[in-house]
Structure 1
Amino acid sequence: MRPRLIPIREQNTNDPVDLLARTIWGEARGEPVRGMEAVAAVVMNRVARPGWWGRTVASVCTKAYQFSCWNEDDPNRAKLLAVTDADPIFAIARRIARRAVAGTLDDPTGGATHYHSVDVHPRWATGKTPHARIGRHLFYADID
């Protein structure tokens, strides 16, 4: 059974900064700041290249099966929806998200639209060469 994505109406907000901050926190809170920035860059690279993954920060972040932290059965989902700025890592994620949405965040990924943890090897990465390794994630810019 594939995980179900939470419809946007069930999420805390439609604010792109908040959604991006939650995605960063959910996907990369154990990474150094540069790793968190890299996840933000992937989202913004997708927004800049509208496609099947969406056209806005909200649609990209919550596209089914793209960022596992939003999947209904992900153990981090409840934490993701409940986290506040009282969490120092989420406060950092929010600052990164503000810069990304404002267009002032550098892209350390080389234009990547995809990434995965070094602990897994998804099918879509087969035969592809990562453009960057940042923290424990590999980033790809040649995935359609």
Structure 2
Amino acid sequence: MSVNDIDRDVPSRIIWEKRAAKASLARLQSPGQSAIAWMTVIQLMVGEGYAGVCQKPYQFTCWHKKDPNYQFLIELKQILFRELAHCRVVANQVTDGKVPDPTGGTTHYCAITRNTPPTWAAKAEQAPRLGGHVFFRDVS
């Protein structure tokens, strides 16, 4: 599949948002960043292009208009260049197939800090915890 600039930019912004939610680039280590980027690759099977998949309703909550970082994702507020550049490197490595999937093919994730897990997590198989997120497979 060919990957255009938008398909590289959108996953980069999701990685940035997950890092921003943790308030520190160091808090979301590279395996966690790769895991988030891999979620876009795995979900690609249900959409058209990375951007289309990432921006589908309920795929990644950071694209909801009420999310506190949404203004950064749509470029109404500026993301620091070095931060977005780091996230773009991670996204490019994943979309170019240079980084293996650290989640083992999981399809869903949520933040470890959530007070109440999503309803779909009850019957799903829990996979590794990476970068402040817990990943799941066999979600029905």
Taking structure 1 as the reference length, the TM-score comes to 0.79
Distance (whole Å) between structure 1 residues aligned to residue 92 and residue 5 of structure 2: 14
Determine whether 1:43 maps to 2:52.
no
**Equivalent position to 2:132, from 119, 128, 136:** 136
Distance (whole Å) between structure 2 residues aligned to residue 105 and residue 85 of structure 1: 25
Distance (whole Å) between structure 1 residues aligned to residue 122 and residue 38 of structure 2: 22
Q: Is residue 14–residue 58 contact of structure 1 (8 Å, CA) maintained in 2?
A: no
Instruction: Name the residue aligned to 1:23.
Output: 14
Q: What are the Cα deviations for residues 9-50 of structure 1, in whole angstroms up to 9, with x where unaligned?
A: xxxx96110111011111344311211111001111121xx2
**Equivalent position to 2:63, from 65, 70, 80:** 70
More helix by share: 2
Q: Considering only aligned residues, what root-mean-square deviation do their CA atoms show, in Å?
A: 1.9
Q: What are the Cα deviations for residues 64-122 of structure 1, in whole angstroms up to 9, with x where unaligned?
A: 02111111111111122334462x33211100111122122211001011100112211
Mapping of residues 1-144 of structure 1, within 5 Å = 15-29=6-20, 30=22, 31-47=28-44, 50-51=45-46, 54-82=47-75, 83-84=78-79, 86=81, 88-120=82-114, 121-144=117-140
SS for the counterpart of 1:138 is: strand
Taking structure 2 as the reference length, the TM-score comes to 0.81
Distance (whole Å) between structure 1 residues aligned to residue 134 and residue 68 of structure 2: 22
54-63 vs 13-22, greater mean Cα deviation: 13-22
Distance (whole Å) between structure 1 residues aligned to residue 18 and residue 60 of structure 2: 7
1:57 deviates by: 0.5
State the number of aligned residues.
127
